[in-house]
Chain A
Amino acid sequence: LAKTTQPISMDSYEGQEVNITCSHNNIATNDYITWYQQFPSQGPRFIIQGYKTKVTNEVASLFIPADRKSSTLSLPRVSLSDTAVYYCLVGDKNAGNMLTFGGGTRLMVKP
């Protein structure tokens, strides 16, 4: 069972870069690391996924070191609308490898 650990909350200001780090020490060899974003009163939304090194899309970048025991979600130049909860997930072998959502990181972006 792979578990993830990430900070409970973070504060930032508009225009800053935000980095959220997640640890997953027991990640399986074939597991990907997936990040989701959830706004209040909405279901989570897929942001980015990676296996190793760096992945970038129009929303974020994901950095994964060679040992894959951690990962960092990077949000460039955040705005107020990036205020949300961010979840880092890996597969749960005890549940058909379905994703297990922990408490996530509550990001508050201030003006």
Chain B
Amino acid sequence: NAGVTQTPKFQVLKTGQSMTLQCAQDMNHEYMSWYRQDPGMGLRLIHYSVGAGITDQGEVPNGYNVSRSTTEDFPLRLLSAAPSQTSVYFCASNAHGFPAKNIQYFGAGTRLSVL
């Protein structure tokens, strides 16, 4: 049981490049979400999904796209990378219903640098 798997672990991009951060979970969780964490700061919610085919914006969605075609996968796409997107990105999943939905399982993170 791998839990939440994120790839890649590290990535360096040039300004203007695009890329996709992958996230997969094997716990059959309906909820998945993406957060970014800047140095010394808390996590900020980018996008989230409450089920396959359903996504919504979080606190900081600009510059990012998501889709949820399967329960297991929730990729995050950077459309045109900017230095302001240099951060650590965490993917998380959780079951639905109270109080289980408050127990999120996080991946190990993707460390992204945009030059």
Interface residues, chain A, with chain B CB atoms under 8 Å away: 30, 32, 34, 36, 41-46, 49, 51, 87, 89, 91-92, 95-104
Name the CB-closest residue of A to B4. A43
Q: Interface size (B, Cβ < 8 Å)? A: 26
Which residues in B have their C-beta under 8 angstroms from that of A49? 99, 102-103
B101 within 8 A of A: yes
- In the bound complex, how far is the Cα of B37 from the Cα of A103, in angstroms? 10
Query: Known contacts A100-B45, A101-B35, A103-B42; is A46 also within 8 Å of B104 by CB?
Result: yes
Which residues in A have their C-beta under 8 angstroms from that of B107? 43
21 contacts between A and B (CB under 8 A): A30-B98, A32-B98, A34-B103, A36-B104, A42-B109, A43-B106, A43-B107, A44-B43, A44-B90, A45-B106, A46-B105, A49-B99, A49-B103, A51-B99, A87-B42, A95-B59, A97-B101, A100-B59, A102-B42, A103-B42, A104-B42
**Shortest distance in angstroms between B91's beta carbon and chain A's nearest beta carbon?**
8
Contact B99 A41 (CB under 8 A): no
Interface residues, chain B, with chain A CB atoms under 8 Å away: 31, 33, 35, 41-45, 48, 50, 56, 58-59, 90, 92, 98-99, 101-109
Name the CB-closest residue of B to A50. B99
Contact A41 B109 (CB under 8 A): yes
Option from A42, A95, A99 in Cβ contact (under 8 Å) with B102 = A99
Contact A98 B58 (CB under 8 A): yes
**Shortest distance in angstroms between A39's beta carbon and chain B's nearest beta carbon?**
11
Which residues in A have their C-beta under 8 angstroms from that of B99? 32, 34, 49, 51
In addition to A34-B99, A36-B104, 18 A-B residue pairs with Cβ atoms within 8 Å of each other are A32-B99, A34-B102, A42-B108, A43-B106, A43-B108, A46-B103, A46-B105, A49-B103, A95-B45, A95-B58, A98-B31, A98-B58, A99-B104, A100-B45, A101-B42, A103-B41, A103-B42, A104-B42
